[in-house]
Chains A and B, each alone.
Chain A
């Protein structure tokens, strides 16, 4: 008994973009407003899980050919690299710097190295969540 999932699939294809945009917004809002790497990562994996529910594992794996286990490693590298970068400048481990940088289009933007650490957290959360879900999903 195969059902026709056309409504679910079309809707999830549209909603996916909205969820991803909201996740990125949460990720960048983390410094001054509620949000941050953890929530953004969970929201992003939530969007991918929605696609997994609407389609099947093989289709989504074709759409995003990412090994999520590698993503965990990359995220941890970001975190440790941000922390270890402070050692080069003779300041204690995990010292963060920030400053106002003029970017084209954005104008005066205050950049903070904590954001790079947050990016690491973001990638690790996506990697861990998706690894757990895919491992459970693939085991018969």
Chain B
């Protein structure tokens, strides 16, 4: 019963990620795409948490932290690129 509930949660999460991918493909501006990719990263964190409950192991918790940090850094870098055209500004 519990395993079936976990599988059902993973299926619903996959559906959410597919809707996000629709927004990544169709989004009119690039801010839409960055926003949807950030949301995909957050949904991946949730998927890893559900999968570690399903497998009953705690070997994947580093991945949660790691994907969170990587998704945040990538989002900030893309937002700076949209806003100013450069990611790292050069000091004079």
A and B are partners in one complex rather than unrelated chains: no
Residues of B at the A interface (CB closer than 8 Å) are: none
